[in-house]
Amino acid sequence: MTTLLCRMRCSSWLPLRGAHRLTNVIHRDGARLLAGSGRPLTVYSRPDTRGQHTRAVDPTEVDLQRLEGQDEGGNTRRAKLLKYVKSSMRELVSSLSSDSAVRVVIFRSSVPGVFCAGADLKERALMNNTESDLFVHGLRSLMTQIALFPTPTIAAMDGVALGGGLELALACDLRTASYSAQMGLIETTRGLLPGAGGSQRLPRMVGPTLAKELIFTGRRVGGQTALEMGLVNRAVEQTQTGDAAYREALALAREILPQAPVAVRMAKEAINRGMEVDISSAMAIERMCYARVIPTRDRQEGMAAFIEKRPPRYTGE
């Protein structure tokens, strides 16, 4: 993600004593996207939340904040999204990946009207050929790490998602967008091509013919068009608060959250790995993933809940 000019918030859902816990991880930059926005200020204010947290921060700061209400127990981290923090972002994703309590992760931006506007071209212009190649390789590796995240990931695009910003969204499992959002792989307009996985993930998502048209032309599309072409799962009218896609992502996450965690993880692995091989090999992958679900307590709980006509109480075991 590194020099992508965005302030990202990634939310991970975890269980907490029968309730739900939401961990928000915010990554900010203080560069171009902050122009005209005044000092960086983060406000957590949700209609279903008992507490509100407002704090002015140094955009390079990394700290934790606790959320209350329905998502009690959540934490928030902030970090500046420039190239020298790439390792920190990788560490963050890695730590969440190894946390078996994480159920769903949501990526969003705290910059109004912008999900992620792409790379800092001024910074890129200062790199020599080798540095540029290594930088994009590192970015590609980070996107792959996000794509391989064991639990479902959702990108909530409430604004512009261009170049590497859209590549980040493509690395996620699911995407929500406001109708007013604009997204596109615009690298060819800058003498480049999508280098952080976009040239491979977009064709797999919308088909090679449409992907070629979008990449060759560098065209931007709105949320409604993105929904029609299968680029996003859900598109909604933007709200006055500018977080319609995030609210839709939360609604989607809350549909996933009650399901058996191990089953969801194995379903994701079966789908992702199966898409890359022939159908016969894919069936073998499905069998392997299914075999890992059979001995779980959650499977027994699911059967018992069905017989007893009650909601299941899954523990992720």
Q: Going by DSSP bridges, is the β-strand pair 234-236/174-178 parallel, antiparallel, or unpaired?
A: parallel
Task: Pick the catalytic residue from 74, 118, 163, 164.
Answer: 164
- Whether 187 is catalytic is yes
- Whether 119 is catalytic is yes
- Whether 74 is catalytic is no
Task: Pick the catalytic residue from 79, 119, 244, 249.
Answer: 119
Going by C-alpha positions, the residue among 29, 25, 28 that lies closest to residue 9 is 25
Read off the amino acid at residue 173.
D
Task: Pick the catalytic residue from 165, 167, 177, 198.
Answer: 167
Going by C-beta distance under 8 Å and a sequence separation of 6 or more, which residues neighbour residue 292? 262, 266
The whole-angstrom separation of Cα 304 and Cα 282 is 30
Task: Pick the catalytic residue from 169, 177, 187, 245.
Answer: 187
Q: Which residues are catalytically annotated?
A: 119, 164, 167, 187
